[in-house]
Structure 1
């Protein structure tokens, strides 16, 4: 009898929901001709407390669908989630990797992804009281982290291009692939400044410098949509991680960060502000604390600065479980409810992945937090859903996703970005480019390992999609010219075939050794609930980088150094290529290799791009976005340190092995005719001429640095302000012009205000931070 009565109640409830949904079609919030703010206010007025809190939840999404042949349906878990929590967002619905246990066989290809998004939207639109569409947030630092998408070089490789124009195209590609599959929010770019190479996430960043990071980040955000949500492929770009996450104590992910307020305003905040001005509509907090305050509970950063001063109009999302971290890791909240109240009060709108914000209903009812603060957060989410047009157009075309995701155009772009990133560090006696008639021994753990090309935050790949160095070289030479031997693994010392590698080297005319690191996740590695990998002694995978894999040293692991020394002993010309996510120790290679390159994690077309460079089809022009230390004992070592000038250590020079901005070419460039003219009292035009004086066509990256000779607060000895990557044919000369604006001369004074002080500034133009070719001075009166 009770069972029958309960069934009757369910029928009545479902009938009520359907009838209400039909009636709600006439409500003002459903009317697309009304102003967005009117629609937001109307919808907010009709929502229950539970429905409001639901809009601030962003649970994990990969268990929210079921694949049934060619169809995708909402899972029972999803239906229960909507019933119990009214969730307004999902994160990583399309994600596939060992952590999610989604493989090529069990995950979503682009067609199924589009169908999944449609199915989830249809369910919430038709089976909830108000029919509020979902936001689907996806990881996208160097491509959408989903099966069948295009994989570009990781962030550090993109920064090495020093080409905002190229990265803008990458942003457009990523945004389009996400939107074609039904996603809306792109997690990325990562704007953390990387000053400690021990840190596991250097690969995701744009390097050590605020100006380069800001320009590349701005270009990416503009490509992702630039904040214009009316564009069909515009995403909500999410800036990571707020703030100073990349300088954690001891280089350990999530540890406290130590930086003064002026340092934050001078270096760590400007890239975020530049990206927000470019249209970023989402900011993610970070796991670290600063000055005793968890960044996920920092009212100054998230409200006073971000909203009140910068007028940020988007929403703030916690990093995964970082609200729980206020209670469980930082121990500044004694309960989960207290942590939730602290986060929302500080300015965190969205709870990513966790349960913390489920406590907000009780907190509001008990007046522990005001209803107005909750309503403000909900309004920010609803406004962006209306602006994106999701209430009118929540669905996508699976056929279009099949046709246009990972198009030939985007594969070509991936190769172009990889080519542009490759950085030549040494080329003794012009060994490179290689002649195609040569017999090559290709050796090393990264010479033919597909996943080691890709970096962290990458989905499973079809084997034919990723090109290794072996693939790239075999496409250029006959099979009889190439002999490949792995030699050793990245980390595992249990097995190696160094003797076989030496035998192959002796049969060759030139040896190409591809070494370095890996962020490739596998199904043996254990993962934290945040998705970060756990390093343990039982599982020896190649992975030595990527989130959670912090290093105590920077040396090559396993038997890689032994392999290089054995290859050198053969007397054959030795080319060393590093595939890496952080600047690894290159001291031995710098002294002993005949040619040395770094390709970072070059993405799916990386092997082709590296072969293009080795055989002269592309003249390398990548430049280092970070300083390469001589020793971990120098860390942190970065070019724009404040005065005084560093002095040498007892054991070694204080200078890095390779400085920020460094990189060679197969040709040479001459700088001349520096000219400076005043436009206003605080702005100047600076010009110079660059001539290609070598025998190859090529690109040069011209870099302009400033130094304020005397100031009211200590300043860097050198600070990048502008740069330009330009192509010059043999013998060609071009004039390069830069505008030094008032902002370029500004500093953060003792009152934390940006001001321009009178004084003398050195203007330096060169090919790297330690290779200044032209210099003059300018007086600010």
Structure 2
């Protein structure tokens, strides 16, 4: 009897404890009730703190190689008004002044974020956990994390499944170290190769960008945010950031509403509607005079109301400040009011939104606008279960970050993203006794990694020279750099020519670099400046955020080097490693084989050599056209056939979708559905309007992958639309002699356009279907009608 009474008393006490516990701390309570309860308990200052995201790398103090603690600056900020999110605590690069010695390895990184989270949870009034946001465009930007090829290299794989796997690994590595949000993917459509951030994009096409970007999001986010293995994805940058006027980063985008909706936003729309991306970042530019960070049509009408987005919106770093800088706001307070009223929830940089406390108190902005933003932020914290489990395991981080499986995935993406542009039969490499490896990108590790990359141990990165020496121990390999990317004071072309003359074969690696150094100066957004020109020896950096270019020619003595090596008449294989399409005219003319690998990541050398040796039959296809001359820009494929100039052909040197293989493929047996649907028939966007099949045969003597590409042309429409557009692709593996039937389904959305009244609709008429191996090689053609 006594035990029974004690049990009843204990249960009653437990019930009283639950009843006394605030609703927001009750894990079983509905999320909206938890949000409402917590919001009602917050002061105005605490609300503003939750929508501020300061820079994070000064928030920890590294005590020793094995110990880390929170900094005084972090305590001060959290004590004043607890912060909702921190950006890039684990970032290391010349801008942050964090090196391999002063930065954190994965184990210490997890300890650091645990310590920061512990202070937020245990030493602030309401105990609200922090959302830690990290850069994740091609790997978590942290010391020791796996560095994948940059997005141009990812896009060159045309492999949706592979990009989803990569997103999952990036999300896992970031979450294991304590991050909750990963900035990426970048869904900007890049049609301006002079722009400094081309490398961060999936190229020039909205369809390819939407498919691969959504796969990236799905991989990063998974299906359960509480599993400790995924992060929220942040789509960048809303919107039309990749076509700046004059190629200047952040410059205005000159376009009408129809072009914006039809060509520059479909990738974002798919990533939100299909991928369920949880956060979005605005861009620095303006469209038709309205800064994107204060554009209510973009953020509220389109993103939230039309696409159903239910996460929260970050500004880009200091882009709210930029509203005032563009003279669209009288001061920083005015800029903050415009941004929050437009729907921008979180101030990245936290310089502007702090002024909203006074703005609310003086009646310049309604507190309901603040409540909306705070609710959007809190909702994601509850969704991830951070109030119940805010910490991570340093041991798991040390064990899994950059494990062997992750490195092998990076290698697979590197080789599938390597594009073979020319081959007179010299590849795959046969037996040779002596190879001369020459060029500024043959053995400079950071020239393989691209922008948004943390310092990495040299032993972790495999260059082209490393891979050749590892793979060919019986071949004599002579290495001469020849020249740098930009600097001309230390060129040794004569020595390179001597090495070439003694070799049976030359492999020449040229291109560009986004490698930052500690001499380069940076503005407050982290973009690099070009002031380092006066510092003596020029750095290699000619690409990456802030390094816009007026020319696409190879810089420094690189063209001199190509000519000198070509003059030896030795068999020449040229490899471009770069972040944007560069001038390849000379290399295409004089080389026996030509490849591009963009920035191929830490396993880049292995990926390239897998292709050179034939261990992997190349399957990479260009995600962006390569112009012959900067004067051709814009030269994207969807413009159709371009007239010649008086002094230059109209078509690019290599066009979108192009890439060679060591085998050949034939296309045949095109079939379309017997009946077509009516345009006026009410149905959803995903209704299948046309089914198309064709047969693809491997007609060569090697097994290989083909990227089967389907393009569409609308013969007559109510408004002018691009004459050719990618609407489907499949990457298939075929053994030599094997044939396979490939099926595509075109939906109502695939056939729809924005008509004269800006209605998104499938109009009646004839549509032409074209299928082949690239946008300028489409042997199968057919047509169907919408009645």
Same topology, TM > 0.5: yes
Q: Secondary structure at the match of 2:731?
A: strand
Matched, 1:110 2:106: yes
Give the CA deviation at 1:738.
0.5
Distance 1:369 1:227 in 2: 37
Structure 2, gaps ≥5 residues long: 1-16, 679-688
- Alignment TM-score, normalising by the size of structure 2: 0.95
* Residues paired across the two proteins, number: 756
Structure 1 segment 608-627 matched on structure 2, within 5 A: 608-627=606-625
Q: Secondary structure at the match of 2:436?
A: strand
Q: Secondary structure at the match of 1:705?
A: strand
Give the CA deviation at 1:228.
4.2
CA displacement, residues 192-217 of structure 1 (integer Å, 9 cap, x when unaligned): 00001000000000000000000000
Distance 1:617 1:679 in 2: 45
Matched, 1:215 2:211: yes
Distance 2:288 2:768 in 1: 34
Matched, 1:457 2:452: yes
Asked whether the 8 Å contact 2:432–2:475 carries over to 1, the reply is: no
CA displacement, residues 219-254 of structure 1 (integer Å, 9 cap, x when unaligned): 000001157423432211000000000100000101
Give the CA deviation at 1:603.
0.1
Asked whether the 8 Å contact 1:94–1:113 carries over to 2, the reply is: yes
CA displacement, residues 684-723 of structure 1 (integer Å, 9 cap, x when unaligned): 2111111111111111000000000001001111100000
Partner of 2:320: 323
Distance 2:431 2:170 in 1: 35
Give the CA deviation at 1:145.
0.1
Q: Secondary structure at the match of 1:744?
A: helix
Partner of 2:299: 302
Distance 1:773 1:260 in 2: 34
Asked whether the 8 Å contact 1:436–1:476 carries over to 2, the reply is: no
CA displacement, residues 29-88 of structure 1 (integer Å, 9 cap, x when unaligned): 100010000100000000000000000000001000112232321110000011123211
Distance 2:716 2:699 in 1: 37
224-233 vs 113-122, greater mean Cα deviation: 224-233
Give the CA deviation at 1:646.
2.6
Asked whether the 8 Å contact 2:676–2:784 carries over to 1, the reply is: no
Partner of 2:377: 381
Asked whether the 8 Å contact 1:442–1:512 carries over to 2, the reply is: yes
- Alignment TM-score, normalising by the size of structure 1: 0.96
1:498 to 493, 500, 521: 493
2:630 to 624, 629, 632: 632
Distance 1:476 1:712 in 2: 58
Structure 1 segment 347-746 matched on structure 2, within 5 A: 347-428=343-424, 430-478=425-473, 480-536=475-531, 537-539=533-535, 540-641=538-639, 645-678=641-674, 681=677, 683-746=689-752
Partner of 1:241: 237
Give the CA deviation at 1:680.
5.8
Asked whether the 8 Å contact 1:193–1:207 carries over to 2, the reply is: yes
Distance 1:438 1:511 in 2: 12
Partner of 1:36: 31
Asked whether the 8 Å contact 1:227–1:281 carries over to 2, the reply is: no
Distance 2:544 2:18 in 1: 50
Q: 1:241 to 1:227 in 2, by over 3 A?
A: farther
CA displacement, residues 450-482 of structure 1 (integer Å, 9 cap, x when unaligned): 000000000001010000000110012126521
Structure 1, gaps ≥5 residues long: 1-21
Partner of 2:686: none
Matched, 1:57 2:58: no
Asked whether the 8 Å contact 2:168–2:222 carries over to 1, the reply is: no
Distance 1:101 1:172 in 2: 29
2:168 to 155, 158, 172: 172
468-477 vs 437-446, greater mean Cα deviation: 437-446
Asked whether the 8 Å contact 1:24–1:130 carries over to 2, the reply is: no
77-86 vs 769-778, greater mean Cα deviation: 77-86
Distance 1:438 1:445 in 2: 23
Asked whether the 8 Å contact 1:208–1:626 carries over to 2, the reply is: yes
Matched, 1:188 2:194: no
Partner of 2:3: none
Asked whether the 8 Å contact 1:629–1:637 carries over to 2, the reply is: yes
Partner of 1:13: none
Matched, 1:283 2:289: no
Matched, 1:68 2:63: yes
226-235 vs 711-720, greater mean Cα deviation: 226-235
Asked whether the 8 Å contact 1:690–1:735 carries over to 2, the reply is: yes
